[in-house]
Amino acid sequence: MAKPNVLVTRMVPQENLDRLRERFDVEVNTEDRPLTREELKSKVKGRDAILSMLTDTIDGEILDAAGPKCRIVANFAVGYNNFDLAAATRRGVVLTNTPGVLDDATATLAFTLLLSVARRIVEADKYVRDGKWTGWAPLFFIGLDVDGKTLGVAGLGRIGKNMARKAAAFGMKIIYNDVRRDAELEAALGARFVDKETLLRESDFLTLHVPLIPETHHYIGEKELAAMKPTAVLINAARGPVVDEKALARALKDKVIWGAGLDVFENEPKVEPDLLGLDNVIVVPHVASGTTETRLNMGRIAVDNIVRVLGGQPPATCVNP
């Protein structure tokens, strides 16, 4: 009997591929770029399973192109806004993500951005490399204190909580907004649940960890930025469209807020050109989960889900409604 057939839409860690290849016929996109829509449509044909990336839009058209054999699409990501959940559920296709294993890496990157913006690390590094440094000076590269300041967390899921714990170790006060309260975190860290207006008004550093859903599109726009402190810093390691990038660029240019650290962008890999000319924003290319162990663990969960579903078992981390 022919082995089940799996498409992997982008190179993943070799160990993950080896495990898949022990059981299945596997085709991998080894090019250093995502598949185009047309390539994806053609390559998914007749597959039993697809291991997808957040850069692959998996909707009804792609699932129809895959055909009726396709039982699972396993995303190599915790976020799954690239999935049309209803379209997959209607076709009986299981969709999965990789929760839990990237909280540390993602929150660490978000906290790194926070510290780097506060202490102007990228700007200062460039200054030295450009040969501009002439010696110590008292009013030189003045940054922001972090210790004892207020961290606002928008979206207290696993990554938001992880970020709150890291911040608490810096003596930061934690305020948060979410669709539900977290009594445990409130007790453990003295975190305070606040409404969105208070979050914007009181945060010295505001870190975004909400999922991208219609309600969170442009969660931060011109009005929200205007409500923040002029000394505030915005960190986004969630999804780009959660922030109105043009409004953010204007706010940073006009010093409506002090700075920003961005791992994600509205139209990746494009970045709003107005942002790139500014010193008070640090931009990195969607790398928050990018550590060796984390990427291996993300792949392990995606592969486990494929093995389980093609073996007739329920997936471990299903996201279908």
Point out which residues bind ligand DGY (CB under 6 A). 54, 77-79, 102, 289
Q: Which pair of structure tokens corresponds to residue 180?
A: 């539900």
Closer of 55 and 198 to ligand DGY (Cβ)? 55
Instruction: Give the residues across from 267 on adjacent strands.
Output: 270
> How far apart are the C-alpha atoms of 253 and 269, rounded to whole Å?
22
Cβ neighbours of residue 312 under 8 Å, at least 6 residues apart?
none
CB of 54 to ligand DGY, least distance (A): 6
Q: 173 CB contacts (<8 Å, ≥6 apart)?
A: 148, 149, 150, 151, 190, 192
Catalytic, 286? Answer yes
Tell me which residue of 45, 95, 77 sits closest to 314, measured CA to CA.
95
Listed in sequence order, the residues at least 6 apart from 226 whose beta carbon sits closer than 8 Å to its beta carbon are 251, 256
Minimum Å distance from CB 78 to ligand DGY?
4
Residue pair 238/226 in contact (Cβ under 8 Å)? The answer is no
Q: Which is nearer to ligand DGY, 4 or 79 (CB)?
A: 79
CB 75 to ligand DGY: min, Å: 8
Using the minimum distance from each CB to ligand DGY, give the nearer residue, 77 or 248. 77
- Containing 185, the helix (H) or strand (E) segment is helix 183-189
313 φ, ψ to 5°?
Answer: -105, 160
Q: Which is nearer to ligand DGY, 4 or 155 (CB)?
A: 155
Give 315: exposed, middle or buried? Use CB within 10 Å, 0-12, 13-18, 19+.
Answer: buried
The owner of tokens 């969630």 is 238
Cα-based angle 42, 46, 48 (whole degrees, multiple of 5): 120
Please report how close the Cβ of residue 205 comes to ligand DGY at its closest, in angstroms: 20
267: three-class secondary structure by DSSP: strand
Active site includes 239?
A: yes
Comparing CB distances to ligand DGY, the nearer of 4 and 99 is 99
Residue 39 known to be catalytic? no
From the list 239, 266, 272, 295, the catalytic residue is: 239
Question: Cβ of residue 171: shortest distance to ligand DGY, in angstroms?
Answer: 29
Rounded Cα gap, residues 113 and 96, in angstroms = 29
Q: How far apart are CA 253 and CA 246, in angstroms?
A: 11
Please, which residue, 83 or 176, has the CB nearer to ligand DGY?
83
Shortest distance in whole angstroms from residue 105 CB to ligand DGY = 8
Beta bridge partners of 5: 25
Selected catalytic residue, list 61, 268, 300, 308: 268
Distance from the first to the final alpha carbon of the chain? 33
Active site residue ranges: 239, 268, 286
